[in-house]
Amino acid sequence: MIIPPYLKEGDTVAIVCTARKISKKELDPAIKLLTHWGLKVKLGDTVGKEDHQFGGTDVQRAEDFQEMLDDKEVQAIWCARGGYGTVRMIDEVNFSSIETNPKWIIGYSDPTVLHCHIHNLGVATIHGQMCLEIENKTEATRDTLKNILFGNYDAIKFASDFNLNRTGHAKGQLIGGNLSVLSSILGSKSTIKTEGKILFLEDLDEYLYHIDRMVHNIKRNGFFKNLAGLVIGGLTDMHDNTSPFGQSAEEIIANAVKEFNFPVCFNFPAGHSKDNRALIFGAETELIVTKDNVVLKTEA
């Protein structure tokens, strides 16, 4: 797995829209943050563009991403926001330059398709907070992103005695992302293989039966077979029907993987929550789950 070069003061981070539209004003806090870190900012042409809910047409978003991908003066590409739309433009992007000129791609949720697609090319990416609303997230959200970008990251440790956790020790490449997106790209060339890896999952604003359907879909596609470990981040703002489903989102996942013996942790501080710690997808990672604590340590 290729780990892109870490950033140094004076390097350039490009900001582009791969999904929903965003205004320059909404990006001001993120721009200010990058500047405070000693980095330069290059705004893509899609910033301020509008095609209904999208940040420009599919072609415009693909061309903007392509330009930043091929620009040798850009060391990282930060997705401005999520929503929906990255999957509509990804097949129009030529990713050949990322293998010869690797750079950090940053985002989560809808950009899960980017993480998976680029993972299959053998290049690590950053699952982390996008530009929008980064000022409203925890200090740890911002610090973990900065630390990864500059190569100063440390293990994420937190106390957890959640009764559905399953203790154990695992090592493998960390990969995954948003459950809805992972389920939607099954069968495409962006589908990931999970054998021997640590899978991370999170989601937002879904009905419980949707969670159950998607978990069983990825299970039937072999995501849990020979998996090294499972990390569940935020399962945020879940909904139920008038006739209750009968299980929480966490219980749905725990029951789906009960036949396997890999370690599992829930409530990991990443995903659609105020505390959204940055992770390196594709990096060799160690997961330790005990009765009282969880440790996720990157070995890149």
For residue 92, the SS3 value is helix
> CA 118 to CA 168: how far, in whole Å?
29
Residue whose entry in the numeric block shows the structure tokens 């060799």: 284
Residues counted in the chain: 300
Is the separation of the CB atoms in 56 and 22 below 8 Å?
A: no
Tens digit of pLDDT at every position of the chain (300 positions): 999 999 999 999 999 999 999 999 999 999 999 999 999 999 999 999 999 999 999 999 999 999 999 999 999 999 999 999 999 999 999 999 999 999 999 999 999 999 999 999 999 999 999 999 999 999 999 999 999 999 999 999 999 999 999 999 999 999 999 999 999 999 999 999 999 999 999 999 999 999 999 999 999 999 999 999 999 999 999 999 999 999 999 999 999 999 999 999 999 999 999 999 999 999 999 999 999 999 999 987
Closest among 56, 38, 44, 45 to 15, alpha carbons compared: 44
Query: Could you tell me the sign of the dihedral formed by the alpha carbons of 276, 181, 164, 148, in that order?
Result: negative
> CA 276 to CA 298: how far, in whole Å?
16
What is the amino acid identity at position 257? V
> CA 245 to CA 298: how far, in whole Å?
37
Per DSSP, helices labelled H in 17-136 are 24-36, 58-70, 86-89, 96-100, 112-119
**What are phi and psi for residue 15, nearest 5 degrees?**
-120, 125
**What are phi and psi for residue 256, nearest 5 degrees?**
-70, -25
> CA 160 to CA 19: how far, in whole Å?
34
**pTM, 2 dp:** 0.97
